[in-house]
Amino acid sequence: MSQYTAPVRDMQFVMHELAGLQEVAKLPGCEDVSSDLVDAILDEANKFASGILAPLNRVGDQEGAKWDHGKVTTAPGWKEAYRQFSEAGWTAVAGDPEYGGQGLPKLLSTAVMEMWKAANMAFSLCPMLTNGAIEAVALRGSDEQKAAYLPKMISGEWTGTMNLTEPQAGSDLAAVRTRAEPQGDGTYRLFGQKIFITYGEHDLTDNIVHLVLARLPDAPEGVKGISLFVVPKFLLNADGTPGERNDVQCVSIEHKLGIHASPTCVLAFGDSGGAIGTLVGEANRGLEYMFIMMNEARFAVGMEGLALSERAYQHALAYAKDRVQGTEAGVRGGPKVSILHHPDVRRMLMSMKSQTEAMRALAYVVGAATDLAHRHPDAAVRAQKQAFVDLMIPVVKGWCTENSIDIASTGVQVHGGMGFIEEAGAAQHLRDARITTIYEGTTAIQANDLIGRKIARENGVTVRALIGDMRAVQGQLAEQQGEAFAAIRKSLDAGIAAVEAAVDYILATYNNDIKAASVGSVPFLKLLGIVGGGWQMARAALASQARIAAGSDDEFYRTKIVTARFYADHVLSLAPALAYAVVNGAAGALALDEAHF
Amino acid sequence: MSQYTAPVRDMQFVMHELAGLQEVAKLPGCEDVSSDLVDAILDEANKFASGILAPLNRVGDQEGAKWDHGKVTTAPGWKEAYRQFSEAGWTAVAGDPEYGGQGLPKLLSTAVMEMWKAANMAFSLCPMLTNGAIEAVALRGSDEQKAAYLPKMISGEWTGTMNLTEPQAGSDLAAVRTRAEPQGDGTYRLFGQKIFITYGEHDLTDNIVHLVLARLPDAPEGVKGISLFVVPKFLLNADGTPGERNDVQCVSIEHKLGIHASPTCVLAFGDSGGAIGTLVGEANRGLEYMFIMMNEARFAVGMEGLALSERAYQHALAYAKDRVQGTEAGVRGGPKVSILHHPDVRRMLMSMKSQTEAMRALAYVVGAATDLAHRHPDAAVRAQKQAFVDLMIPVVKGWCTENSIDIASTGVQVHGGMGFIEEAGAAQHLRDARITTIYEGTTAIQANDLIGRKIARENGVTVRALIGDMRAVQGQLAEQQGEAFAAIRKSLDAGIAAVEAAVDYILATYNNDIKAASVGSVPFLKLLGIVGGGWQMARAALASQARIAAGSDDEFYRTKIVTARFYADHVLSLAPALAYAVVNGAAGALALDEAHF
């Protein structure tokens, strides 16, 4: 069966050598983040992920969450695992210390989050959505709301949900119709139906805190008339304990391709007189608040792409080492060998491995930049880091998730015929991965955000600074000897040039022909991800070479250089083709009338 | 729900304008293949595919085939559909007229086969495997075997299976262990277990004819000691009717990611004294016979890639036309539009459409070449066409199936959140497509065949001739006016150069470093598919331009040119990157020790 062990060595390498853990540890509020603490947390999280969560991944897929007359029962073992998870304090890792959280830096919570998602993605969605609700309340909630909900959610005693989507309002939240009627006592009654609500109902906790987008009676049309409400499943008694059942019901859950154990709910608000809620922040600013929180959620989904890729890789590698089939290439009648000996299996595994490591490096670097953006004493540094984070969030989300589908599919392929048999477990990773490019904004939504708000709006300032950072690495590569570094440099040179050409095209086109620019948006997002990953793999190779030069004989470093070289030859080398599609691809894509498709 | 209508217009265009239907119709035995006959057959097949088979696709997925104590029950409606299918003569389309077949040319049966596979892939596997068994008996069976089995299988009264795989013998058939003991009366008793046997047991017909690979007691080790046997589920009475039950039992069926309605059986031969069979052809030549038949089966699986892509495209297009979400790009507060208006949705649909049309063009051209290879009066033409077919079979199989996974996944993406919900049906195409790169030889097996037997062994003669044919089209493109043709020519130029560079590398490397050549085998297969498809799309654009120049105002031709241009900009443009990986990618892929993965 599929097992999972967190790749702690690579996580540590990335945190220390690429993402600047030492700098993060100097930030205000991070003074306790010693190497020992990091080691201890990663070690404990790995134990929990591999020992408790990973073994439940398959039963979750097979049994799934079950709906019966409005009640949702989670898969066998889920409830106990959730209890242990919250009791061990894992729900509180990133939370505000004022409300019981541990306030650990993003860089560290990112590594921990990767473990939960790799071990059991369906499980991880529950704390992930709760984090979204925590953030919403922390960001704009009143003191009463904070006091009522934050300690309970941070401790994991209650979970939270995000209620955005309605049948007619998916990517287009301007179309939200759920109504909120003021009751004159500071509360509101909500009426409407929300769909695709992750963990909208379950049996893990005594209460569920729904964050809900809805319209006030006098609200303007469109995006500027949407407000945010907090609507608990059970209304709170005066002492803060769950009291009367609120008028929100789970009327069904979806039958999905993957993440079967995560109940995806249709929630009906107000079928019996109105679901009682309170306004979060100011009226009509709900969507604006959502956008502020979006970085967090999109980053987390990007981590799902990384995490599922790691899981699929471990799964395929174990099979490839175990499965004996055929003889060494070119050898007739020789001994049978494990399929890891076959060149194409190696190619597939190196492709999975190198892309996963590139994603980890880029994502953790963005995680560390988030810490600097939030906590650095110098406002200029904060602003610069925030701009980098804003630029890279859609890339981490879109690129890592698109990759994860391919990588999980490659994992199936490594298994041969067994990959198609559900019992082998490889197919689950593909099924689970398939949602990641859709929720929290499809890849196209990420790509729109990237070329519009993150590049065109500021005339490319931040992306050009990023290109400058990449060029600096080119210079360092030029100082290295050997074939591997020559190969890395060659592909990175071409990759950076490809990004520049594509950026030039987008900046020249966006404001006068947004459709033409948009045709290239997803190819550009992938391009920036691939080259961003190549940049980090080049840095990883340089850092490894420095260790080797300093006398280390740790095979990890030699392996990292080989992996970076594979990435350069097989993945980064795609960059010019993507730029070609960005720069040349609009006319053909836009020429047909609707009727001629 | 998902509907399907065969793309008859495009099929006709490809058959007439690209694949040379007129030349095929001049071949001996094809004299009756008039345009009218082709029209009538495509029309009738379309009615059956869209009216009978397509509506059963979903119930087949949901209900699947069910196993109970050795008996397999097909999904509701399956049995009746199969009866109608065989009564209408569809099982006999490609069969030998001497045994009741219609002997239609491959080009025509290819179009018909595409329809079955698009409408209901799980259903289509039953006649496909039967065709394999028919071919085996027709190719090397004795007169008695032919008389006993061919008319029944061609009429569809009985079905056939191919029994190759065993738990330890998947891609490596040298490891087959099933034993066949001669009884001295011309029959054999077989003992062993076969897995992954498609339609190995079912309730559609009165008998099932198993073709089985097994070893005789004195057989040499390895691939040269495997013989082929015919083992009917029910032994035949003297009058040819099914009699006593043979000792072959279905002990279980697999729970698979997709094609749920196609029972994938574990068959136990000889648990009660031996399954009685007869030898097909000569002893120890079973694998050789399999190789002769392999072209047919691999081509058919390639058609599954094409067919599922077409189905996924139609499904996604219907959703994109229907689903209203957001406003036109760059328009705030304008009317809501169907998502087909959004640039990235158009890009996705054009990508699906253009690749599907490219696959159809290339596959049908190979289909027509098969007719010429089999029937042309000039032996030199036959040999030349056979060499082309042999070269292209692994490409059609590997490239079309790899594409189909991406294309079906893109179809899910077009659906947004609904794509992940099984009820929407888009996910089924992805699940079904996922097997196609695995069975009948994984993509790596195809790619090995391509660079080894089909290119290196003959020192690149046929692939260089193909490059010459492509160059001729470049010349014709240069004579055309306009942006679209300039774009097509530019990408095709680069694509052909990429193929040449990769071929040079493979020829220089294969015989002295087979592992290095093999690392590039799958990227090369994809490269040859992409450029082969681009070559055909360029021909399609030229043929369309000729029609327009001759006065046609059929929008089909204008659309074809736009589609070919999109393909050139977005798909064909990947060729240089693939060649880069072929030429440069070996060292990084082969450098790591097993322990360092």
Residue B417: which of A438, A483, A589 has the nearest Cβ? A438
Q: Please state, in angstroms and rounded to a whole number, the distance separating the CA atoms of residues A594 and A596.
A: 6
Contact B170 A325 (CB under 8 A): yes
Indicate the pLDDT class of residue A294, thresholds 50, 70 and 90: confident
Query: Running DSSP on this structure, what letter comes out for residue A159?
Result: E
Could you tell me which chain A residue has the CA closest to the CA of B576?
A: A577
Could you tell me which chain A residue has the CA closest to the CA of B589?
A: A347
Q: Residues A310-351: pLDDT tens digits?
A: 999 999 999 999 999 999 998 887 899 999 999 999 999 999
User: What pLDDT shows up at residue B1?
Assistant: 54
User: What pLDDT shows up at residue A292?
Assistant: 81
Q: Residues A242-280: pLDDT tens digits?
A: 999 999 999 999 999 999 999 999 999 999 999 999 999
DSSP for B407-450, written as a single string:
HHHHHHHHTGGGGGBGGGSHHHHHHHHTTTTTTTS-HHHHHHHH
Indicate the pLDDT class of residue A211, thresholds 50, 70 and 90: very high
Contacts 24+ apart (CB under 8 A), B26-35: B27/B105, B27/B371, B27/B372, B27/B375, B27/B376, B28/B375, B28/B377, B29/B103, B29/B375, B30/B105, B30/B371, B30/B375, B33/B104, B33/B105, B33/B108
Query: Running DSSP on this structure, what letter comes out for residue B469?
Result: H
Average pLDDT over residues A532-537: 98
Burial A494-519 (b: 16+ CB within 10 A, else e): bbbebbbbbbebbbebbeeebbbbbb
Residue A329 Cα, gap to closest chain B Cα (Å): 6
Could you tell me which chain A residue has the CA closest to the CA of B173?
A: A326
Query: Running DSSP on this structure, what letter comes out for residue A510?
Result: T
Residue A80 Cα, gap to closest chain B Cα (Å): 28
Residue A529 Cα, gap to closest chain B Cα (Å): 16
Indicate the pLDDT class of residue A143, thresholds 50, 70 and 90: very high
Indicate the pLDDT class of residue A295, thresholds 50, 70 and 90: confident
Could you tell me which chain A residue has the CA closest to the CA of B426?
A: A257
Q: Residues A447-503: pLDDT tens digits?
A: 999 999 999 999 999 999 999 999 999 999 999 999 999 999 999 999 999 999 999
Q: Which residue of B430, B566, B567, B582 is the best one to mutate when testing the A interface, meaning the one whose CB has the most A CBs within 10 A?
A: B566
Q: Residues A16-73: pLDDT tens digits?
A: 999 999 999 999 999 999 999 999 999 999 999 999 999 999 999 999 999 999 999 9
* Mean per-residue pLDDT over chain A, rounded: 97
Residue A522: which of B347, B434, B587 has the nearest Cβ? B347
User: What one-letter code names the amino acid at B364?
Assistant: Y
- Give the β-pairing of B242-245 and B248-253: unpaired
User: What pLDDT shows up at residue B281?
Assistant: 97
Residue A257: which of B422, B443, B516 has the nearest Cβ? B422
- Helix, strand, coil share of chain A (percent; to 5): 60, 15, 25
User: What residues in chain B have per-residue pLDDT under 70?
Assistant: 1-2
From chain A, pick out residues whose CB is under 8 angstroms from the CB of B194: none
Q: Which residue of B257, B349, B492 is the best one to mutate when testing the A interface, meaning the one whose CB has the most A CBs within 10 A?
A: B257
Query: Are B140 and B173 within 8 A, CB to CB?
Result: no
Average pLDDT over residues A108-116: 98
Residue A484 Cα, gap to closest chain B Cα (Å): 8
From chain A, pick out residues whose CB is under 8 angstroms from the CB of B586: 343
From chain B, pick out residues whose CB is under 8 angstroms from the CB of A421: 254-257
3 state DSSP class of A280: strand
Tokens of A260: 């079967």
A387 pLDDT exceeds 70?
yes
3 state DSSP class of B184: coil
Whether this model's ipTM surpasses 0.95 comes out as yes
Cα–Cα distances in angstroms (integers) from residue B102 to residues A212, B53, B89, in the given order? 64, 22, 9
DSSP for A67-103, written as a single string:
EETTEEEPPTTHHHHHHHHHHTTGGGTTS-GGGT---
DSSP for B79-105, written as a single string:
HHHHHHHHHTTGGGTTS-GGGT-----
Contacts of A472 (CB under 8 A, 6+ apart): none
Contact A342 B444 (CB under 8 A): yes
A1 pLDDT exceeds 70?
no
> How far does chain B reach from its first CA to its final CA, in angstroms?
45
3 state DSSP class of B275: strand
3 state DSSP class of A165: coil
Indicate the pLDDT class of residue A133, thresholds 50, 70 and 90: very high
From chain A, pick out residues whose CB is under 8 angstroms from the CB of B329: 514-515, 518
Q: Please state, in angstroms and rounded to a whole number, the distance separating the CA atoms of residues A98 and A134.
A: 13
Query: Are B341 and B328 within 8 A, CB to CB?
Result: yes
What's the length of chain A? 597
Q: Please state, in angstroms and rounded to a whole number, the distance separating the CA atoms of residues A455 and B72.
A: 59
Q: How many CB atoms lie within 10 A of CB B178?
A: 24
